[in-house]
C-alpha cells in the first residue's frame, strides 16, 4: 500500500488548538480548494512555487502542541475526527434506537472515554498475559504463548509478523505470510546507524524500556538488565532485516515455502504448536518474506536465555497495550514515541485519541455513519467521473510514449484497463458481528477488536481474494494503490474540500484531486508497481530494452531528489522515495491532460488575477502545504517513502513545461530544470 499522504501515526495526533474550540462540530467546515489567502504573492513563483502557493498558510498555521506536523491533510483529518466526535458522543448515550453497528461504536467510544475506570484498573488488564509469560518454561511453550499473543494483540511487535496476503505468483489466492518484525523502534536503521544522533535515540529508547518495565513493577536493577537484553535482541533482529529500499523490490520478498521448509529454517521454534494455536493446523504453504531474518531468529532462539525472552515479551506486551492503560503508561509511551522521537509537546485530548481509535478498530462501522452524513451520491458521481477521465488520459499518454515498444505498450494498456476503481467506501461493509463491545471494558474491547481482525485476516488463507475489500477506512484522509489487487482506492475522507471542492471551478480541482487520482494510477507503473501485471501477479511483462528505458528515466528522478535536503544535513533517500516521486510527477501530467480535455472549447476566465492554467497549479500546490517539527522530519528521513511537501510540489513543477509557460518562467530560474525528468 502506498498512500499519498503520510500515514496517520499510531499515537493519534491532531489538534487541540484552543480550549474554546474543543467541542464537536455538526458539519465539516468549508475551505476552498484554491485559497488566495494562503498564498505568499510577494514570493516569485519561478523561484519557489511552494512558498508562493503556501507561504501564508505556513505562517498562519503553526503546528499545534499535540502535533508532530501540520498540513492540509492533517487539518482535514482533524475536522473529520471532530465531526465524528459529535456522532459518537451521541451514540454513546444508550437508547433503544441504535442499530447493532451504532451500539458497538458508541459503547467502544464510551468505554474509552471513561478515564476513571481506566485509571482504576492500572495495569490489571495485562495480568493474565504477564502470568502466562512468567510461567513460560521453554521453547515449546514459547510457540503456544506467541500464538496467543498474536491473536490477542496483533503480531508485529512479538518476534515476527504473521498473517495472510495474496500469493505473489497467483494474486487470486490468499496464502499465509511470515514477515520480519519484533522491533520497538520505527525502523531497523535506528539500530544500525553509527551516527551520534542515532546513538542518542538508542540510549533514550533503552531508558524508556527500563521505565516501562519498572512501571510493571520490576525493581530498577532488574528493569535495567531487562532493557539491555531487549536492545541486544532487537539489534540482532534489526541487522537481519531488509532495509526499506531493499523491501521495495518485491522479488526480495517472494519466497514461497512449504511448512517443512519453514520448520527447517527455524528448528528451535515449534511451528506445529504455533499453527494450531492460531487456528491454522492445516496450513501447508507460507511466503517467508525474509528468510535471513528467520535464520537470525533461530540463532536468538538458541542463544538467548529464557529470562531474557521474558524481558522481551513483557516489554512488547506493555509497549503494545500502553495506550489503553492508566495515565502513567500512556504518558510514558507518549513521552518517548511522540515527544522524544517526533518533538510533539503534549498529548492530544482524550476524545481525539478515542475517536481515532474507533476509526482504527471499527473503521467501517464508523465509516457508514461518516459516509451517510458527509459523502453524497453527487460527490461520489463527480469523483468517479474524474477518475475515468484520468484513466483516459493515461491511455492517451501510454499510446504517445516515444520510448516504449509496441509489445510493452500493449501490456501496459492491458494493465491500465484492468485497474479497479474504488471511490468513497466499500460496496460491501465489513460485518463486526463477532466483536463483543462492552461500555465498561476498554482494554477488553481493544483486545476483542484486534482478535476479530487477526482472525479475519487469517481466515482468508486458502480462499479467493475479496476484491471489494478496503485497507483504509472511509474517514481516512489518504488514498492508495494496491499492486496485487491492481486497484486504486479513494476514501470519502480525502474527497472533501479543500481537496475536492464542488463549489470551485475545474482548474484547482483537477490540479489537486485530479493529481491525487493520477498519482495513485501512476503507482501501478512506478519502480515497484510496474513489476506486477494486469492480474496483480509478480511477472515481468517488459522487454529488456523498455525496462532499461524505464530505469534510465527513473534514475533522473533519483538523481534530482537526492539533492534535496529534508532537515539539518540529511538529504532525501531518493531510492526510498522513488515510487512516490514518480507518481507525483506522472499524476500531475495526467491531471493536466484530463483537465485540458474537459475544458476544451470552453472559454475560461481568469479569477483573482490568475489565469486558469495558473489556478490549476496553485490548486495542485495547496494540497501539500505543511509545517513539520525537525524531530519529525528526522523520523521521516528514515521511514517515510514520501518526500517533504515542498519537494512534492517544486520537484514536480520544475519538470513541467506547462507550468513554466503558465508562469512565464525562464531558463536558468530555480523552477526550470536544466534537464527535465519524465517517466510517464
Ligand atoms: Zn503514493
Report the sign of the C-alpha dihedral through residues 581, 584, 585, 587, in that order: positive
- In the reported structure, the alpha carbon of residue 558 is separated from the centroid of ligand 1 by a whole-number distance in angstroms of 16
Name the average pLDDT for the chain.
95
Residue 4 CA, ligand 1 centroid: distance in Å: 4
Q: How far is the CA of 576 from the centre of ligand 1 (A)?
A: 12
pLDDT digits (tens, 9 = 90+) for 20-35: 468 999 889 899 999 9
Query: Can you name the residues that pair with 538 across neighbouring β-strands?
Result: 532
Q: Is the pLDDT of residue 11 over 50?
A: no
Contact assessment for residue 95 and residue 113, using Cβ atoms and an 8 Å cutoff = no
State in Å: Cα 2 to ligand 1 middle: 5
Structure confidence by residue, pLDDT tens digits, 286-345: 999 999 999 999 999 999 999 999 999 999 999 999 999 999 999 999 999 999 999 999
Residues 6+ positions from 253 with CB-CB distance below 8 Å: 168, 242, 247, 287, 289, 290
The confidence band for 242, taking pLDDT boundaries of 50, 70 and 90, is very high
642 C-alpha to center of ligand 1: Å? 7
Q: If you measure from the C-alpha of residue 321 to the centroid of ligand 1, how many angstroms do you get, rounded to a whole number? A: 30
* Alpha carbon 45 to its chain's center: 31
Mean pLDDT for the stretch of residues 605-630:
97
pLDDT above 70 coverage of the chain, percent:
97
Q: What is the pLDDT of residues 259-273, one digit of tens each?
A: 999 999 999 999 999
On whether the pTM is more than 0.75, the answer is yes
Beta bridge partners of residue 258, listed in sequence order? 285
Q: DSSP letter at 390?
A: H
Ligand 1 centre to CA of 522 (Å) is 9
Report pLDDT digits (tens) over 485-528: 999 999 999 999 999 999 999 999 999 999 999 999 999 999 99
pLDDT value of residue 21: 66
28 Cα: distance to centroid of ligand 1 (angstroms): 26
What is the Å distance from ligand 1's center to 490 Cα? 12
Across 284-342, the runs of DSSP E, i.e. the strands, are: 285-288
Query: Which among 379, 402, 142, 386 has a CA at the least distance from the CA of 273?
Result: 142
Q: With a cut of 50, say whether residue 479 has pLDDT above it.
A: yes
Residue 581 confidence (pLDDT) above 60: yes
Alpha helices, H only, 533-640: 544-561, 578-598, 612-621, 630-639
pLDDT in tens, 61-100: 999 999 999 999 999 999 999 999 999 999 998 776 899 9
- The helix (run of H) or strand (run of E) holding residue 413 is helix 406-418
Q: Are 111 and 442 in contact (CB under 8 A)?
A: yes
Q: How far is the CA of 5 from the centre of ligand 1 (A)?
A: 7
Distance (Å) from CA 578 to ligand 1 centroid: 10
Q: What is the pLDDT of residues 522-553, one digit of tens each?
A: 999 999 999 999 999 999 999 999 999 999 99
C-alpha cell at 110: 464510551
Strand partners, 2: 481
pLDDT for 9 beyond 60: no
Kindly give the distance from the C-alpha atom of residue 341 to the centroid of ligand 1, in angstroms, as a whole number: 24
Q: DSSP letter string over 193-244?
A: --SHHHHHHHHHHHHHHHHHHHHTT--HHHHHHHHHHHHHHHHHHHHTSPPH
Ligand 1 centroid to Cα of residue 271, in Å, is 36
Q: Measured in angstroms, how far is the CA atom of residue 335 from the centroid of ligand 1?
A: 30
Q: Is the pLDDT assigned to residue 157 strictly greater than 90?
A: no
Tell me how far the alpha carbon of residue 17 lies from the centroid of ligand 1, in angstroms.
29
Amino acid at each position: 500500500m502506498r498512500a499519498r499522504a503520510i500515514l496517520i501515526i499510531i499515537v493519534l495526533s491532531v489538534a487541540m488548538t484552543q480550549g474554546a474550540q474543543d467541542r464537536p462540530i455538526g458539519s465539516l467546515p468549508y475551505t476552498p480548494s484554491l485559497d488566495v489567502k494562503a498564498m505568499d504573492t510577494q514570493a516569485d513563483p519561478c523561484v519557489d512555487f511552494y512558498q508562493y502557493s503556501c507561504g501564508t498558510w505556513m505562517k498562519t498555521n503553526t503546528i499545534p502542541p499535540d502535533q508532530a506536523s501540520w498540513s492540509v491533510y492533517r487539518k482535514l483529518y482533524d475536522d473529520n475526527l471532530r465531526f465524528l466526535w459529535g456522532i459518537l458522543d451521541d451514540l454513546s448515550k444508550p437508547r433503544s434506537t441504535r442499530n447493532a453497528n451504532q451500539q458497538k461504536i458508541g459503547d467502544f467510544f464510551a468505554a474509552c472515554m471513561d478515564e476513571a475506570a481506566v485509571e482504576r484498573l492500572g495495569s490489571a488488564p495485562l495480568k493474565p498475559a504477564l502470568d502466562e509469560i512468567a510461567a513460560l518454561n521453554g521453547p515449546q511453550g514459547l510457540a503456544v504463548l506467541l500464538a496467543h499473543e498474536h491473536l490477542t494483540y496483533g503480531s508485529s511487535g512479538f518476534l515476527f509478523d504473521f498473517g495472510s496476503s495474496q500469493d505473489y505468483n497467483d494474486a487470486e489466492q490468499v496464502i499465509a505470510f511470515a514477515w520480519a518484525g519484533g522491533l520497538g523502534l520505527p525502523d531497523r536503521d535506528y539500530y544500525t546507524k553509527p551516527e551520534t544522533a542515532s546513538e542518542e535515540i538508542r540510549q533514550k529508547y533503552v531508558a524508556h524500556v527500563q521505565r516501562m518495565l519498572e512501571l510493571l513493577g520490576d525493581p530498577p536493577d532488574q528493569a535495567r538488565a531487562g532493557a539491555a537484553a531487549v536492545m541486544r535482541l532487537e539489534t540482532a533482529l534489526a541487522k537481519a532485516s531488509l532495509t526499506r529500499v531493499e523491501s521495495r523490490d518485491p522479488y526480495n520478498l517472494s519466497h514461497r515455502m512449504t511448512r517443512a521448509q519453514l520448520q527447517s529454517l527455524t528448528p528451535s521454534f515449534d511451528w506445529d504448536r504455533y499453527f494450531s494455536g492460531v487456528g491454522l493446523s492445516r496450513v501447508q504453504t507460507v511466503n517467508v518474506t525474509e528468510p535471513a531474518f528467520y535464520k537470525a531468529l533461530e540463532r536468538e532462539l538458541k542463544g538467548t536465555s529464557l529470562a531474557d525472552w521474558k524481558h522481551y515479551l513483557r516489554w512488547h506486551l506493555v509497549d503494545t497495550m500502553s495506550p489503553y492503560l492508566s495515565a502513567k503508561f500512556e504518558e510514558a509511551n507518549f513521552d518517548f514515541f511522540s515527544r522524544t522521537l517526533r518533538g510533539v509537546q503534549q498529548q492530544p485530548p482524550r476524545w481525539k485519541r478515542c475517536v481515532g481509535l474507533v476509526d482504527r478498530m471499527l473503521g467501517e462501522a464508523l465509516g457508514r455513519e461518516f459516509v451517510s452524513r458527509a459523502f453524497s451520491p453527487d460527490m461520489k458521481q463527480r469523483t468517479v467521473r474524474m477518475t475515468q477521465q484520468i484513466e483516459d488520459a493515461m491511455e492517451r499518454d501510454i499510446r504517445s510514449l516515444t520510448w516504449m515498444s509496441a509489445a510493452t505498450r500493449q501490456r501496459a494498456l492491458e494493465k491500465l484497463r484492468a485497474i479497479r476503481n474504488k471511490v468513497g467506501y466499500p460496496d460491501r461493509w465489513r460485518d463486526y458481528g463477532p466483536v463483543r463491545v462492552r461500555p465498561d471494558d476498554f482494554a477488553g474491547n481493544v483486545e476483542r477488536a484486534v482478535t476479530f481482525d487477526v482472525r479475519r485476516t487469517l481466515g482468508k488463507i486458502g480462499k479467493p481474494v475479496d476484491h471489494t475489500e478496503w485497507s483504509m477506512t472511509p474517514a481516512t484522509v489518504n488514498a492508495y494503490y494496491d499492486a496485487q489487487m491492481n486497484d486504486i482506492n479513494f476514501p470519502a475522507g480525502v474527497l472533501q474540500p479543500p481537496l475536492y471542492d464542488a463549489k470551485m471551478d475545474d482548474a484547482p480541482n483537477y490540479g489537486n484531486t485530479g493529481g491525487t487520482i493520477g498519482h495513485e494510477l501512476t503507482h501501478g507503473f512506478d519502480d515497484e508497481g510496474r513489476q506486477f501485471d494486469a492480474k496483480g501477479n509478480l511477472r515481468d511483462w517488459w522487454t529488456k530494452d523498455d525496462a532499461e528505458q524505464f530505469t534510465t528515466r527513473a534514475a533522473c528522478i533519483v538523481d534530482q531528489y537526492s539533492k534535496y535536503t529534508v532537515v539539518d544535513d540529511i538529504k532525501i533517500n531518493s531510492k526510498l522515495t522513488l515510487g512516490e516521486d514518480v507518481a507525483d510527477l506522472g499524476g500531475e501530467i495526467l491531471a493536466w491532460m484530463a483537465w485540458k480535455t474537459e475544458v476544451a472549447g470552453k472559454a475560461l476566465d481568469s479569477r483573482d488575477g490568475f489565469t486558469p492554467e495558473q489556478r490549476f497549479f496553485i490548486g495542485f500546490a495547496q494540497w501539500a502545504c505543511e509545517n513539520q517539527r525537525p524531530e519529525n522530519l528526522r523520523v521521516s528521513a528514515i521511514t517515510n517513502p514520501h518526500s517533504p511537501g515542498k519537494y512534492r510540489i517544486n520537484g514536480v513543477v520544475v519538470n513541467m513545461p506547462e507550468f513554466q509557460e503558465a508562469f512565464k518562467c525562464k531558463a536558468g530560474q530555480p523552477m526550470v530544470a536544466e534537464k527535465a525528468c519524465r517517466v510517464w
